[in-house]
Structure 1
Amino acid sequence: MKELIDKYLKYLKIERNSSDHTITSYQNDLTQLLDFTAQHFEKEPDSVDVSDIDRLTIRLWLGELTEEGMARNTIARKVAAVRSFFKYCYKRSYITKNPAHLLIIPKKEKRLPKIVQAGEINEMMELASDPAPETVQERAILELFYSTGIRLSELTNLNVKDIQIHQHQLTVLGKGSKQRIVPLGDKALDAIKNHLQTRSELFTTKSSKEAKNALFLSVGGNRIYPRMVQRIIKKYLLKVSEVTQKSPHTLRHSFATHMLDAGADIRLIKEFLGHANLASTQIYTHTSVERLQKIYSQAHPRAENKS
C-alpha cells in the first residue's frame, strides 16, 4: 500500500497541482490509516495491501480518532483524504470495490476568523523599518499579505515578473492553477520596490538558477519556503497583537474583514481572495456583524438597559 500512497501523492502534485501543504497533510493522514490497519490486523505496515482495508476498518479508525478528542475539522480533512485516495485506486483498478465510497465527511465547525486590528497592523509595519535587506524583504512580505490577502503558497510561488509595477498589480497563481490579477496598494508597492533594490544582496553562492526568478528569498539565497514565512509573520505578530493565531492566514483574514468593514462588496472580496464560491467568503460577514453589534451597543442610547 505504501507504493500506492506514493503514486497517489505524485498524482496530486503533477496532475492535480495540489499545494505542498495539502500533499503533506494527505500523506500524514494516509500513513496514519496504514499504521492503524497494520496494528488492527497484527501486520507490519510494509505487508499491508490496499485490499485489506474495508469500510469497517476505516470507521474503526475514525472512531478511535473521535475518542481521542480530535477536532471535527481535522477528522473531516482525514475523511476527505481517504475518500480521494480510494477513489484514485478504484478508478485505476488497484481495487475492485471502493470502501470509502459511502463515507460521510463530518460537518466542519464554523469558527470565526481571527484578525489583527488596524492599529496593530500599522505598529507591525513600523517595526519592520530597518534598512537591512532581510528586514526590507520582511516588510514587503507583511505589506503584500495585508494589501492583497493572498495565500501563503501564492506568496512563496511569486516571481519578479509577476509584479506589474506601472499597473499597480500582481499576477497570482491560485488553487487549481487559476490565475488572477490582484491590485497593489501604494504602501505595498513601495515596500516591493524597496525590496527589489536590495534583493540581489540576498543571493548566495548556493542560489539556484530558479531562485533568480523568485520574488522572495530564503536565508540560503533560494526561493523562500512556507515555514520561513510563517516564522516571519509570527515574529512580528508576537510583538504587536494578542491574537491567538499568529500566521499568514491571520493577515488574509484581517485584509478581508477590514475591507468588508470599510464597505467593500463581498463579491469583490471573493475575487481578491480567489475563492471558488461565495460561501467561502461569507464567513467574514459574521465577523463584521459582530463588530457592528458591538458598536451599536456602545453608541446607541437605547441599545442597552443601563438603569
Structure 2
Amino acid sequence: MPGVTFGEALEGFLLYLKGERQASPCTVDAYRADIEQFAAFVAGRAGQEAGPAAVDIWMVRRYLGWLNQLGQQRSSMNRKLAALRAFYRFLLRAGQVQSSPVALLSGPRREKRLPGCLSHAEMEKLLSIPATTPLGLRDRAILETLYASGIRVAELVGMDQDDLDLVAGYARVLGKGRRERVVPLGRYAVKALENYLHRARPELAARRIPPEPRALFLNHLGGRLTTRGVRERLSHYVEKAALRRGVSPHTIRHTFATHLLEGGADLRVVQELLGHIRLATTQIYTHISQSQLREVYRQFHPRASRDNIDNRR
C-alpha cells in the first residue's frame, strides 16, 4: 500500500532479509542502520509523515550530497546506496511503491586503494618466526601456503586434506562463486605442509572427539580453523616481527602477486592464480615500485642515460 511508513516498510524488509535471504545478524543490523538514517533524513526535509513512496530521485541525490558534506568515505556512500536499492526492490515486489528512486542512480566512483605489500626481506622475516610446536608448525604451513599460492584466507580455511597433492605440488581451492581452481604451492610450502600433516595435525586432531576428519587446518581445540583465527595468528607474528601494523592475509595475497609481477610474470598468469574473472581486477596489483621502473627504463631505453648513448656510438 502506497501509504506505508518507513518503520512498517523497514520491519517487513528486515523480516525478508532474515527469512528468505538468510542474512547474518551483522548484515541485518547494517541494513537497519542505513535505512533508518535515510528515513530520518527524509523526515527532516519532507516531514514525519513522509514514507518511502514520497521519495524521488532528487531526494536521494540530496541525501548523497549530505553524506558527502559529512565527510563519508565513497565506499560508505556506495554501501548506503546499495542498501536503498535492495530496500526499494523489496518494496516494489511487495507493491508498496510504484517505482524506485534509486534505480537509475550510480554511486560515487570508488577510489582504487592499493593494499599494503611486504618486501622480500619482511616476508622472509615473517615466515621465519613460527616455532616447532604443533601450533607453530601449523602456522608456518599457513603462512607458507598463503605466500606460495596467493589464495584468499577463506579459501585457505575451506581446504580439506584431500585438496592437496603434495607430490605434484598443487592444491585445489574453491573460490568466489564456488569456482574451483588449482594453484601451485612451491617446495617451501610443500615442506611446511608435510611437517604440519605428519608432526602437528595428528596431535591437534586428538584434542577433539570425534576427530575432525577432513579439514586441513585445525584450531587448538581440533576443529576447523576459521578466518578470524588465521587473522589473529598473523597479527601475533606481525607484532613479533616488528612489522608495520595493518598486515592481513590479504596483504600476503597482494605481496604474492606483486613479487610475481616484479619477477616478470605475465599479468594473465597472475590473474589465473588469483582466481580473478576480470583482468581489470588484477591490474591493481601492478604497482611496481618507482625505483624499479626507473631502473628498467635506464637499462633499456636508448636515450635514458649517457652510457646507453655512448654504447651506441
TM-score tier (shorter): 0.7 to 0.9
Show the counterpart of 1:8: 17
CA distance in 2 between counterparts of 1:263 and 1:25 reads 42
Q: How many percent identity over aligned positions?
A: 32
What letter is aligned with 2:128? E
Residues 13 and 90 in structure 2, CA contact (< 8 A), matched pair in contact too: no
Give the number of aligned pairs.
287
CA distance in 1 between counterparts of 2:100 and 2:305 reads 62
Q: Is the aligned partner of 1:106 residue 2:115?
A: no
Q: Which moved more, 1:74-83 or 1:163-172?
A: 74-83
- Structure 1 residue 180 displacement after superposition: 0.9
Q: Which moved more, 1:102-111 or 1:76-85?
A: 76-85
CA distance in 2 between counterparts of 1:28 and 1:298 reads 55
- Where 2:128 maps in the other structure, the secondary structure is helix
- Structure 1 residue 77 displacement after superposition: 3.4
Change (3 A) 1:93 1:241: farther
1:142-191 deviation per Cα after TM superposition (whole angstroms, max 9, x unaligned): 11111111112211212222112223111111111111111111111111
Residues 140 and 188 in structure 1, CA contact (< 8 A), matched pair in contact too: yes
CA distance in 2 between counterparts of 1:159 and 1:239 reads 29
Q: Which runs of 5+ in 2 are unaligned?
A: 1-9, 45-49, 308-313
CA distance in 2 between counterparts of 1:92 and 1:219 reads 48
1:72-131 deviation per Cα after TM superposition (whole angstroms, max 9, x unaligned): 233223333443454455457565422321221211112233100111111111111x22
Residues 83 and 103 in structure 1, CA contact (< 8 A), matched pair in contact too: no
Show the counterpart of 2:273: 272
Q: Is the aligned partner of 1:153 residue 2:154?
A: yes
Q: Which runs of 5+ in 1 are unaligned?
A: 15-22, 43-47
- Where 1:127 maps in the other structure, the secondary structure is coil
Residues 33 and 58 in structure 1, CA contact (< 8 A), matched pair in contact too: no
Show the counterpart of 1:180: 181
Show the counterpart of 1:193: 194
CA distance in 2 between counterparts of 1:263 and 1:68 reads 44
CA distance in 1 between counterparts of 2:62 and 2:208 reads 49
Q: Aligned match of 1:70 in 66, 69, 72?
A: 72
- Where 1:238 maps in the other structure, the secondary structure is helix
- Where 1:245 maps in the other structure, the secondary structure is coil
What letter is aligned with 1:148? S
- Where 1:181 maps in the other structure, the secondary structure is strand
Residues 90 and 96 in structure 1, CA contact (< 8 A), matched pair in contact too: yes
- Structure 1 residue 238 displacement after superposition: 3.0
Show the counterpart of 1:290: 290
Residues 116 and 254 in structure 2, CA contact (< 8 A), matched pair in contact too: yes
Equivalence map 1:59-98=2 (5 Å): 59=61, 61-87=63-89, 90=92, 95-98=97-100
Change (3 A) 1:105 1:212: farther
Show the counterpart of 1:256: 257
1:32-51 deviation per Cα after TM superposition (whole angstroms, max 9, x unaligned): 22331454549xxxxx9876
Q: Which moved more, 1:85-94 or 1:294-303?
A: 294-303
Residues 29 and 78 in structure 1, CA contact (< 8 A), matched pair in contact too: no
Show the counterpart of 2:232: 231
- Structure 1 residue 68 displacement after superposition: 3.0
- Structure 1 residue 236 displacement after superposition: 1.9
CA distance in 2 between counterparts of 1:94 and 1:171 reads 47
User: What's the TM-score once normalised by structure 2's chain length?
Assistant: 0.77
Show the counterpart of 1:246: 247
